[in-house]
Structure 1
């Protein structure tokens, strides 16, 4: 007797992973809508960024769908010996439709990059820096540190420049800003839209250098943590090159 293909543990696991990804996608989509309602962050959602993120996510979904198809094809040709004491019960049409619907992943163009992980959520640490100079002459501009070196827990999202806390706890955050010439900036570390600390540097045409600041702060699960320019002091680019990087890092203490 041929086992019903939808009863295969491999296929069930694959469909379960698809279902879990769908839930993450919907949750992240809700977060995008929330963040876009914040005027100080809305300028960071550029059309180019969203097209790139959507393409990456669609490629991930297509890969998962191809994997499910491979499992279905493999199971169809595999035969099992008859079992006298048990007869497999075929799925009803309603059950088949329910399984099929789980494979129809919700797609949306403006979607964050999802990074599945098997690392326990109690281990969170990240370090990222700017790959090049970035303009930052407007108020409340989020500085998206785009080159990720460390991302234990995959909680830092370089497209947003934001850590989304996977676990409540006490965190350490540190950031470094490099400036030169007549550029000057006050940058702020913000937790869930609340300013926790600010860092000011004005070289006044005399210095090419960097300044850093660190904070220890309690963060609730789901809070956004980011670096942005202040409302009043922001002029010129934030610098970053091999001679001196502007960077952002953080980790959970307990």
Structure 2
């Protein structure tokens, strides 16, 4: 394009120069040629500047094109990653929904199972309570009958000798001591229930009977007896230490709601060989239902005694 423009310009100059030579002469031609030469130089410079600018613009365009191409590649990559992430989240959401449904089903099954277990536990507790009630009633009945038989002739030497014959022989002459505790909870004992401490840890003299909870004095003398019991929150009990039919000591506990309480009673007294010493619920103090006596590894309900002299 620049060459064509130059050629046209040259022809124009020649035409002008030819017509001018016929009019003004050589000076006028030289002046005109000089003007034309300057014009050509300006046009050449302008053409060069335009060319350089075009080359610069083409270079920038090429760079921008490459940059846009890289941006497009990065954009496509980001779109692909986002789509993959969306698919992962959709799969995770579906799995979570399945898990929620499964957990709801398992929760419902657990609720039904717990309900069945609670019903079974209630039946077992009722059965266990009835068993305890029957056992204690049977033992209390037999014990009361035996005491009634012993009340009037208790000072009779023949009766006392017979009772001594029923007492197991002492394994260590002169030494008498025992300690036992309950192995489990005692639910809702009624009045005059003899407490049975079935786990025997010490029984020097073999005078304590874990099946009945009664200590049969093997030798007359001064003894120390101590009993401990534990109750749950909002429960109360009064427990007596009995020697035959005589109340020799009592201990009352009332635990506030949300707490547990444990108390210990101690009696020092003289007893005779053949006397029965035991612990029972108070004869005249009535407690509410489900007022249990607790005993476990965190606190034992226990009964102990030993001969001082």
Q: TM-score, normalised by structure 2?
A: 0.45
Structure 1 unaligned spans of 5+? 1-31, 41-112
Whose RCO is larger (CA < 8 A, sep 6+)?
Answer: 1
Query: Residues 47-94 of structure 1: CA distance to partner in whole angstroms, max 9, x if unpaired?
Result: xxxxxxxxxxxxxxxxxxxxxxxxxxxxxxxxxxxxxxxxxxxxxxxx
In the TM superposition, 1:1-254 aligns within 5 A as 35-37=143-145, 117-120=170-173, 122-231=174-283, 232-235=285-288, 236-254=291-309
User: Does the CA-based 8 Å contact 2:222-2:308 persist in structure 1?
Assistant: yes
How many residues matched? 150
Partner Cα separation in structure 2 for residue 180 and residue 35 of structure 1 = 29
Query: Residues of 1 paired with 2:206 and 2:301: CA distance?
Result: 21
| 1:219 positional shift | 0.6
CA–CA distance in 2 between the matches of 1:136 and 1:195? 22
Between structures 1 and 2, the one with greater helix share: 2
Say which one has the larger Rg. Answer: 2
RMSD: 2.5
Unpaired runs of at least 5, structure 2: 1-139, 149-165
- The TM-score with structure 1 as length reference comes to 0.55
> Is 1:143–1:228's contact at 8 Å kept on the other side of the alignment?
yes
Q: C-alpha separation between the residues in 2 aligned to 1:213 and 1:250?
A: 12
Higher strand share: 1
Post-superposition offset of 1:33: 10
Please report how far the alpha carbon of residue 116 of structure 1 lies from its aligned counterpart in structure 2 after TM superposition.
5.5
Tell me if the contact between 2:147 and 2:245 (Cα under 8 Å) persists in the aligned partners.
no
